[in-house]
Amino acid sequence: MNKSTVFLSAAFAALLFSVSAPAATITVDESGHGLPYHLGTDPGPGGLPNALIYTLPFTGTSGDVELIEPETGIPGDVLRFNGDGTLIFYSQGTAPNTPDLADQPRPPAPVANTVVINETAAGDAFYTPTAGQPGFDASALPIYHFISDTAAAIPEPSSVALFLVGGLGLVAGGVRRRKTS
């Protein structure tokens, strides 16, 4: 092997090993949409019963993510990563007519590893943890989309299908109307 072949091989290997795994976007809301979930007692420190517990596809770093309410500027919902593949969604539960699975008080005390992020006016927040932050996993490099407001909730597949069928009906009606004109 000549020097240029060795150099090119080394450069290609360095490039290959520097490419990270693609980031996975994980979307969850306070109604149990997005990932498999169950209701149970949060095993984390100060965890509460009847918590909305999502199952992550990886372990994730333990810690809390606090969402700051846009209207008041104070902490609202808490997303707790227990470091065992679970994500617990604690919501304030301020809408009695539309209760969500996550509606219950905040855990009594945050854990030591806490990140605070702002929620948008639309009732959601994106969070990309770095090494050591809550929810980080080097194998998945997750990006989280937390939906805190029921109005911004992930639509059910049947709702999306109904919307698409209605839209197709409107388009077909417009095409038929043009042919008869």
Q: How confident is the model at residue 2 (pLDDT cuts 50, 70, 90)?
A: low
Show the tokens assigned to 171. 């388009």
Contact between 121 and 73 (Cβ < 8 Å): no
CB 34 within 8 A of CB 124: no
Task: Evaluate whether 45 touches 111 at the Cβ level (below 8 Å).
Answer: yes
Phi first, then psi: what are they for 168, rounded to 5°? -65, -35
The rounded distance, in Å, linking the Cα atoms of 167 and 23 is 33
Tokens for 30, please give them: 């306070």
Separation CA 140–CA 114 (nearest Å): 21
- Report pLDDT digits (tens) over 8-17: 344 444 433 4
Query: Which tens digits make up the pLDDT trace of 22-64?
Result: 678 999 999 999 999 999 999 877 888 889 999 999 999 999 9
Tell me the Ramachandran region of residue 123: left when phi exceeds 0, alpha when psi lies from -120 to 50, beta otherwise. left
